[in-house]
Amino acid sequence: MFVDSHCHLDRLDLSPYGGDLDPALQAARHRGVHRFLAIATSLDGAPNLAEIARRHDDVDISIGLHPLHETAAEPDSQAIQACADRFGAVAIGETGLDFHYDSVPRETQRQRFVAHLQAARELELPVVIHTRDAREETLALIREHVDPKVGGVLHCFTEDIDMAREAVRSGFYISLSGIVTFASADALRAVARQIPLDRLLIETDSPFLAPVPYRGRSNEPQWVVEVAECIARERGITVDEVAMQTRANFYQLFPGCAPGGQADNPFV
């Protein structure tokens, strides 16, 4: 069974499914995808994600504010903790640093990132990190604020093997998305080959970054299978091995998602 460890279920293009999320998730289940971690990009989106999780036993949620999301008021660590508690989050994020764009000032991103890391440490929850063009600062803040016994994940990883190894040493997992299937992604496929399999996760980041052969279309959770197939080819192992190990990794990192270990979600 596959796990989509990072998807934005509140942002999917549901037009092929008559505007209904249920058949989109069912299409994924028919392909063997049996767990979904729905990721928040703003605290305002938490109630909607919690409602999705209430309706689907195989959906869990993470609470956070994306580094590039513009907001009138910055939440502090206590506000993030309160939101995560209220809605039964199993992780904090996505959060992080994205210096590729300037829509949110870098210092604001840093302060926001630290608030999320502090919240994750207080709640003893793993953190879901988005990082782009901010390698050294991301790693430095991870080392300073994250408990390696709890750790987290660098999602939709696009950096080099050295950063991946440093993150793994800090207790992190590396999650690969549909980008790994792109013709231009030779360096990322090298990461897929070299990182220990027990430190890999797979994701769609849907509705973004649909894998080959669906590139250019709005991404869906069911296409996490293509990510797993690419990793299997690169490593010379079976897709079943990738599915089983990444699923085990997912539950190791996110114990609140494990059967019988759901987070205490008052909306469920």
Residue 249 Cα to chain centre, angstroms:
13
Query: Is 6 annotated as a binding-site member?
Result: yes
* φ/ψ (deg, to 5) at 91: -160, 165
Query: Is 124 annotated as a binding-site member?
Result: no
**Residue 130: how many CA atoms within 13 Å on its side-chain side?**
24
* φ/ψ (deg, to 5) at 102: -115, 20
Query: Is 205 annotated as a binding-site member?
Result: yes
Spatial distance between the Cα atoms of 3 and 257, rounded to a whole number of angstroms: 11
**Residue 118: how many CA atoms within 13 Å on its side-chain side?**
13
Query: Is 30 annotated as a binding-site member?
Result: no
Query: Is 69 annotated as a binding-site member?
Result: no
Query: Is 94 annotated as a binding-site member?
Result: yes
Question: Where is the binding site for a divalent metal cation, in residues?
Answer: 6, 8, 94, 130, 155, 205
Question: Where is the binding site, in residues?
Answer: 6, 8, 94, 130, 155, 205
